[in-house]
Amino acid sequence: MNVLIFLACCSASILMRSRAQQEDNCFPGTTDLVIHHEVVDQETGFTKYCSGMAVLKKCEGSCISQVTPSVRYGFSKECKCCRERTRTLRTVVLDACFDVDNNPLPGVTHQMVLQEPSDCACQVCAL
């Protein structure tokens, strides 16, 4: 029994020491997003297909997660993911629009409102 207690103490101190040497690294980055959107005017029934490209923010990086033995539960899990802490709305203009026959519609655009992260942090993982 003394041996088991000693091993548990040693593994806990090694875990704390190795964890202290690591740190979370989660930050906002950017990504190029190509958007294709079908737009149907509810009043006229006119359909147009618009596309465009936007550079949007994304969360990227790594977070410390661990699974440790637990006498009570078998294993204690602490999982963290790099996720948005706050979001902002962003208007994107799709500037290449076409009709149903794939004919260009010069001067026609379509605006979309998308969400993008404004701040990122390591948070408890959720589905």
Q: What is the mean pLDDT of residues 106-112?
A: 96
Average pLDDT, the chain: 83
- Higher-confidence residue of 71 and 59: namely 59
Q: Is the pLDDT of residue 9 over 60?
A: no
Percent of the chain with pLDDT over 70: 82
Tokens of 107: 């001067």
User: Please, which residues have CB within 8 angstroms of residue 106's CB and are 6 or more apart in sequence?
Assistant: none
Q: What is the SS3 string spanning the chain?
A: CHHHHHHHHHHHHHHHHHHHHCCCEEEEEEEEEEEEEEEECCCCCCEEEEEEEEEEEEEEEECCCEEEEECCCEEEEECEEEEEEEEEEEEEEECEEECCCCCECCCCCEEEEEEEEEEEEEEECCC
Are the beta carbons of 63 and 81 closer than 8 angstroms? yes
What pLDDT score does 126 carry? 77
What's the pLDDT tens digit per position in 93-103?
A: 999 999 999 99
CA end-to-end distance (rounded Å), the chain: 40
What pLDDT score does 127 carry? 61
What pLDDT score does 54 carry? 95
Domains and CATH numbers, the chain: 25-124 (2.10.90.10)
pTM of the model: 0.65
User: Rounded CA gap, 109 and 96, in Å?
Assistant: 7
What pLDDT score does 114 carry? 96
Q: What is the mean pLDDT of residues 16-43?
A: 82
